[in-house]
Amino acid sequence: MTSPDDKPHLPAPTLWPLGFAAGIACLLVGLVVSELVAIIGGALAVVFGFLWIRDVTRGITAEPAHVEPERRRGAATARARADVTPPAYEEEEEAAYPRSTFLAVTTLGLGAVIGGVITAPVLGFAVLPSFTNQPDQDVELGPLEDFPEGQFVIATYLEQPEVGEVSRRTVFVRNNGLLEDQPSFTVIFSRCVHLGCPVQPNGPIDEESRKTVGEHNVLLTQAQPVGFGCPCHGGQYDTEGNRTAGPPVRALDRAEFRIRDGRLWLGSFYSVGEVEGSGAQARIKKYGRAAPGVHVDGISSWLYPIEVP
């Protein structure tokens, strides 16, 4: 018989929702800063989410208590039981799914939906750039003899010849000589890593040396820069592309290169945190290609991790 003072049992306080929320937060942050952080966050969300669901549904899935079977004790016992007034009907006793459990499960479901709505765009921003970035380049820049050792050559080319001049790009190429009996080249992209303005060489340019080569209409012009500068906002770089002054956040981007049949070919671009040393002996801190204004190393890459594709 239920006492009037009895109250329905509510789920005991638990820390599982906090752990679940922390896991989701780590997952979202990890999607834009570190794959390891995303994996840890996902694991925490799964573990704490399971524990939370288990606690919420414990009253539903628990085995019913053992009930002693009724034993007949004769007519006198039956008449005595008939004189007892049956207890008043209480809704909470008959409910197989208490209101508190219903509200808890509903809240959990709504939280999952909201988490999915928030996660989907973040996941898109984090993953889609990997599939939407431009494909690897394979542009012939010209024969090796057009690149004198120790001297920069300004090479402009049509990234998409079918589009025309609007796709023209510029790189600064320097022949570093041999490294372990193999030709070494420095290929620096002309896009400023502040806001993407075109960088210019700080030094004389030999206009008379200009020539056009290859199917990509590559223009080769010899130059003798002592560095590179951005005319838009004053960014300055040395001959290795390291930032020396102004607002740029890292060194100039570089490009890979290949040599085929005595000709220099331009490969994929990549971002650079810093270059130590120079020429063929340079040690390059190489990263995946990032947009202008995006930090690629140090604590700043954690404080400003998001790159809009």
Closest CA to 308 of 67, 57, 132, 86: 132
Cα(307)–Cα(272) distance, integer angstroms: 16
**What pLDDT is stored for residue 248 in this prediction?**
92
Q: Token digits for 298?
A: 């140090």
**What pLDDT is stored for residue 87 in this prediction?**
56
Do 277 and 226 share a structural domain? yes
Cα(144)–Cα(136) distance, integer angstroms: 22
**What pLDDT is stored for residue 254 in this prediction?**
94
**What pLDDT is stored for residue 217 in this prediction?**
81
**What pLDDT is stored for residue 309 in this prediction?**
46
Whether residue 4 is contained in a domain is answered as no
SS3 call for 48: helix
Could you list the residue range(s) of the whole structural domain that residue 205 is in? 139-303
Do 200 and 77 share a structural domain? no
**What pLDDT is stored for residue 31 in this prediction?**
72
Do 112 and 36 share a structural domain? yes
Do 76 and 41 share a structural domain? yes
Do 290 and 146 share a structural domain? yes
SS3 call for 286: strand
**What pLDDT is stored for residue 231 in this prediction?**
92
Do 218 and 168 share a structural domain? yes
pLDDT tens digits for 209-266? 888 887 778 999 999 999 999 999 999 999 999 999 999 999 999 999 999 888 999 9
Do 95 and 244 share a structural domain? no
Do 121 and 95 share a structural domain? yes
**What pLDDT is stored for residue 96 in this prediction?**
58
**What pLDDT is stored for residue 296 in this prediction?**
87
Domain edge (last residue) among 102, 132, 162:
132
Whether residue 11 is contained in a domain is answered as no
Cα(213)–Cα(173) distance, integer angstroms: 15
Whether residue 309 is contained in a domain is answered as no
28 with 119: CB under 8 angstroms?
yes
Question: 7, exposed or middle or buried, with CB in 10 Å at 0-12, 13-18, 19+?
Answer: exposed
The number of distinct structural domains making up the chain is 2
SS3 call for 208: strand
**What pLDDT is stored for residue 256 in this prediction?**
92
Q: Which residues of the chain have pLDDT under 70?
A: 1-14, 32-33, 58-98, 119-137, 303-309
**What pLDDT is stored for residue 122 in this prediction?**
63
Whichever domain contains 151, its CATH number is 2.102.10.10
Do 108 and 162 share a structural domain? no
114 with 241: CB under 8 angstroms?
no
Do 89 and 186 share a structural domain? no
Q: Find residue 140's DSSP bridge partners.
A: 265
